[in-house]
């Protein structure tokens, strides 16, 4: 799930609590079709994720998505699922794999306050999250990279997608088994809540998805990072299966106008 290719993220010098000089990032050039793709050293990414969380990053969603690599206390035990629960899990897995595109406004709740924005999803592989002012953050995931851009600081970062919980929705085949553990299941009159984590890093945090039922539909999710911080994101009037412009998932740096894999 999140460790595939060790490759859902951004160059995070772009926060108010982290200065670019603090990163001291090592850059690794990889040949890709005659171009170079630059991947940050994962040691530096993890260090930055911890700093974002420890210093109370202004934009906690970004911190939570990155902080999946930090350590925390004991792992949760998987619940015992009866036949009805197993059938729900199978339906959810089928639903997620059938999900192609999404265009939705969202509202985000965290300890840092409330933020709103718009998100686009095109499975597999592509996602765009753009916040409304005053939050100046844009995040775009495409393939195995995620771009994090701060319009206020005019800084852009590229990170591997698979090191974060965000990667789960972008997988070509979503599986709720194997290296994905179900650690929570709740059934309501018209909803289902499912909490998952990566079995390869069970202490790294979790994601809880909430689905409306009859018909089954993704409604919101909660990211809990390794320090126990929660970020809740609720979809507002989501449109599923609609046309989404591929240009929305461009990884061209808005600061320079150049793609991150610019020719040598």
Alpha-helix runs per DSSP H in the chain? 20-23, 42-54, 60-66, 83-98, 167-170
Q: What is the mean pLDDT of residues 64-87?
A: 63
Domain boundaries of the chain, sorted by first residue: 4-249
- Fold adopted by 4-249: outer membrane lipoprotein receptor (LolB), chain A (2.50.20)
On the question of pLDDT at 82 being above 80, the answer is: yes
On the question of pLDDT at 46 being above 70, the answer is: no
Of 70-79, 209-218, 247-256, which range is least confident? Answer: 70-79
On the question of pLDDT at 159 being above 90, the answer is: no
Of 19-33, 43-57, 58-72, 156-170, which range is least confident? Answer: 19-33
Q: Identify which of 145, 109, 110, 115 has the alpha carbon closest to the alpha carbon of residue 127.
A: 145
Q: What is the mean pLDDT of residues 28-45?
A: 33
Q: Which of 51-65, 73-87, 229-243 has the highest mean pLDDT?
A: 229-243
Mean pLDDT rounded to a whole number for the chain: 74
The Cα 243–Cα 143 span in angstroms is: 19
Q: In whole angstroms, how far apart are CA 15 and each of 57, 147, 155, 231?
A: 7, 13, 9, 17
Q: How confident is the model at residue 102 (pLDDT cuts 50, 70, 90)?
A: very high
Q: What is the mean pLDDT of residues 21-45?
A: 32
Backbone φ and ψ for 70, nearest 5 degrees, come out as -85, 160
Q: State the Cα angle at 208 between 106 and 192, rounded to 5°.
A: 90
Q: What is the mean pLDDT of residues 185-198?
A: 92
What would the pLDDT profile of 111-136 be if each residue is shown by its tens digit? 888 999 999 999 999 999 999 999 99
What pLDDT is attached to residue 162?
76
Residue count (the chain): 264
What pLDDT is attached to residue 22?
35
pTM of the model: 0.71
What pLDDT is attached to residue 27?
30
Q: Identify which of 79, 74, 75 has the alpha carbon closest to the alpha carbon of residue 185.
A: 79
Q: Identify which of 150, 57, 161 has the alpha carbon closest to the alpha carbon of residue 110.
A: 57
What pLDDT is attached to residue 176?
93
Q: Which of 24-38, 39-53, 114-128 has the highest mean pLDDT?
A: 114-128
On the question of pLDDT at 13 being above 70, the answer is: no
What would the pLDDT profile of 200-247 be if each residue is shown by its tens digit? 776 667 889 999 998 999 999 998 877 778 899 999 999 999 999 999
């Amino acid at each position: 799930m999140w460790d595939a290719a060790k490759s859902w993220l951004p160059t995070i010098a772009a926060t108010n609590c982290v200065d670019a000089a603090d990163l001291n990032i090592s850059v690794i050039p990889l040949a890709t079709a005659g171009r170079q793709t630059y991947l940050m050293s994962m040691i530096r990414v993890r260090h930055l994720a911890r700093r974002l969380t420890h210093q109370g990053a202004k934009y906690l969603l970004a911190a939570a998505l990155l902080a999946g690599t930090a350590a925390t206390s004991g792992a949760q035990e998987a619940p015992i699922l009866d036949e009805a629960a197993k059938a729900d899990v199978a339906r959810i897995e089928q639903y997620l794999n059938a999900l192609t595109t999404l265009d939705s406004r969202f509202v985000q709740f965290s300890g840092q306050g409330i933020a709103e924005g718009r998100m686009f999803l095109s499975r597999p592989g592509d996602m765009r999250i753009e916040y409304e002012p005053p939050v100046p953050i844009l995040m775009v995931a495409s393939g195995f990279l995620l771009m994090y851009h701060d319009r206020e600081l005019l800084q852009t970062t590229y990170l591997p997608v698979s090191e974060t919980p965000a990667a789960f929705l972008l997988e070509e085949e979503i599986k709720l088994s194997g290296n994905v553990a179900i650690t929570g299941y709740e059934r309501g009159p018209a909803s289902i809540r499912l909490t998952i984590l990566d079995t390869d890093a069970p202490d790294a945090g979790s994601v809880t998805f909430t689905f409306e039922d009859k018909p089954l539909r993704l409604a919101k999710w909660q990211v809990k990072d390794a320090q126990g911080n929660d970020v809740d994101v609720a979809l507002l009037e989501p449109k599923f299966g609609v046309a989404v412009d591929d240009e929305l998932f461009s990884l061209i740096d808005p600061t320079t106008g150049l793609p991150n894999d610019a020719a040598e």
